Amino acid sequence: MNRIRVLIADDHQILAEGVRGLLEAEFEVIGVVADGRELVAAAKRLLPAVIVADVTMPLLNGIEAAVQLRDAGVTAKVVFLTMHRDVAYARRALDAGASGYVLKHSVTSELLTAIREALCGQTYISPIIAGELFQSYRDGDASSSGSPQRLTARQREVSPFL
């Protein structure tokens, strides 16, 4: 039986290896990368079904990497695993095509749930911010998703808060 292929992207090696250990019982972890540019290259080369990525990474942030992958036609589901509780990050991640947004201080089962839901075509948001995120969409709070048009390409590349 073929297992679901997962790529991990996080610049904190100890965290990435911990996530690898958690996922390997159920999924085939096909790689671990430490920055957004590596993520884009590895995803195009390895064709994972799911990418578990941090938002804040060197060289290219995770959100901008997700945008580049989407624009390149990569169909992997992207689940962000992040410390950023601010709804603006979550909104930008979802706008970039993310299928999940899990906070790093969540219980481990939450990441597994997010991956499973992403594979079923659902979107998973950590419950601790889900209500606030929903409210920001309902209120039409465009300011929380930032204004990427006013940023240079380089600013968007390195800043996770667009």
Output the domain CATH number for residue 33: 3.40.50.2300
Q: How many domains does the chain have?
A: 1
**Residue 129 structural domain:** 5-158
For 44-90, the pLDDT digits (tens) are 999 999 999 999 999 999 999 999 999 999 999 999 999 988 888 88
For 96-150, the pLDDT digits (tens) are 999 999 999 888 899 999 999 999 999 999 888 876 777 776 777 544 444 444 4
3-state secondary structure string, the chain? Answer: CCCCEEEEECCCHHHHHHHHHHHCCCCEEEEEECCHHHHHHHHHHHCCCEEEECCCCCCCCHHHHHHHHHHCCCCCEEEEEECCCCHHHHHHHHHCCCCEEEECCCCHHHHHHHHHHHHCCCCEECHHHHHHHHHHHHCCCHHHHCCHHHCCHHHHHHCCCC
Mean pLDDT of 143-160: 48
| Predicted pLDDT of residue 2 | 85
pLDDT at 151 over 50: no
For 14-30, the pLDDT digits (tens) are 999 999 999 999 999 99
For 26-49, the pLDDT digits (tens) are 999 999 999 999 999 999 999 999
| pTM flag (> 0.85) | no
pLDDT at 153 over 60: no
